[in-house]
Structure 1
Amino acid sequence: MKTIPVLLSAVLLAAAGASFAQGVTATPRIDQREQRQEQRIQQGVGSGALTPWETYRLEKEQAHIGKAESRAKADGDVTPAERKRLTNMQNRASRDIRHQKHDRQAVPTKG
């Protein structure tokens, strides 16, 4: 009879450890911001505010951030310094998106 509580305790302890480990490497705020920036880029493409070259550069910048995030997660621990670096990279990307969408360059409309 004592085996069931011991087994249950072991399972709960393993689950708690797994959730703790996930919390250390999880970057939900960074991931959510990445998605919003991608949506902003696609909206700019759809509206004609972004030229193909601007889109290429912004997508390349997003890919660079994704690679940096993967490297930060590779050792199983995203440190505060790595989070700060990723946030700074995203801040820069956000400014770049805004700048490119609001400059006077646009895709010519077919008329």
Structure 2
Amino acid sequence: MSNRQTKMLKTLMIAAGLLGAGLASAQTAAVSQDVQRNVNQEQRIENGLKSGSLSTREAASLEKQTARVDHMEAHALANGSVSPREQASIQRAENNVSRDIAHDTHNGITGNPASASSQRMQADVQRNINQEQRIKKGVANGSLTNREAGSLERGQAHVDRREARAGANGHVGAGEQRGIQRVENRDSRAIYHDKHNARVRG
């Protein structure tokens, strides 16, 4: 192989490496953006509960929709990457949730933030925020792979569904909250495990 061919081969290898790094960076940015959107939506639900502009039943309905978004993210990340088509679908679902949060917080239906039921829902939604923030940090610093983030979002979807079922009748009982907390604790352990299992994003 001539010197010229060797140089061309090296140039192509460097270009391929840069392209791969660029694609990986774009994937990380997309996943991080989606998880941050989850944080934002949950925070808006929490704010609505605390201000009384969302009732427990409305928050439960919104958690049902949030579960769908989390499930879509989990499905998309099962192979470690999100396609443009999958990303577009996730963003449409997130936009729908955002519109419904805005609608429900301004529709004149109010909740009682001081009620035991609302307090339980508030605590559960705050836990959602914390878990999603931990996932986002793991994605950002490379301690979570995209596939791991997807698996953890599947766990979040399960929590959201439990919250949705518990609050569907407008009341979250103490027993229902204990059930939700058990699932939340399991997911918290999974986040910790995945962030410390020595598997890092390549």
Q: Cα offset for 1:29?
A: 1.0
RMSD of the alignment, in Å? 1.5
Structure 2 residues without counterparts, runs of 5 or longer: 1-110
Matched, 1:74 2:168: yes
Cα distance between partner residues in 1 of 2:196 and 2:141: 12
Map of 1:94 onto structure 2? 188
Give 1:25 deviation, angstroms: 3.6
Distance 1:41 1:82 in 2: 25
C-alpha deviations, 1:54-106, integer Å up to 9, x for none? 00000111011001101100011111110000011110010000000000110
Which structure has the higher relative contact order (CA within 8 Å, separation 6+)?
Answer: 1
The residue that corresponds to 2:112 in the other structure is 19
Quote the Cα distance in structure 1 between the aligned partners of 2:122 and 2:138: 24
Q: Which residue of 2 aligns with 1:60?
A: 154
Of 160, 172, 177 in structure 2, the residue corresponding to residue 83 of structure 1 is: 177
Structure 1 residue runs of 4 or more that deviate by more than 2 Å after TM superposition: 22-25
Structure 2 residue 124 is matched with structure 1 residue 30: yes
The aligned counterpart of 2:137 is 43
Structure 1 Cα separation of the partners of residues 136 and 112 of structure 2: 34
**Matched residue type, 1:43:** K
Cross-structure match for 2:97 = none
Deviation, structure 1 residue 24: 4.5
Check conservation: 1:24, 1:76, Cα contact below 8 A.
Answer: no
How many residue pairs get aligned? The number is: 90
Q: TM-score, normalised by structure 2?
A: 0.42
Note the residue ranges of structure 1 that are not aligned, 5 or more in a row. Answer: 1-17
Give the TM-score normalised by the residue count of structure 1.
Answer: 0.75
What residue identity is the alignment partner of 2:115?
G
Tell me how far apart the structure 2 counterparts of residues 62 and 23 of structure 1 sit (CA, whole Å).
25
Q: Distance in 1 between matches of 2:183 and 2:177?
A: 10
Segment drifting more, 22-31 vs 88-97: 22-31
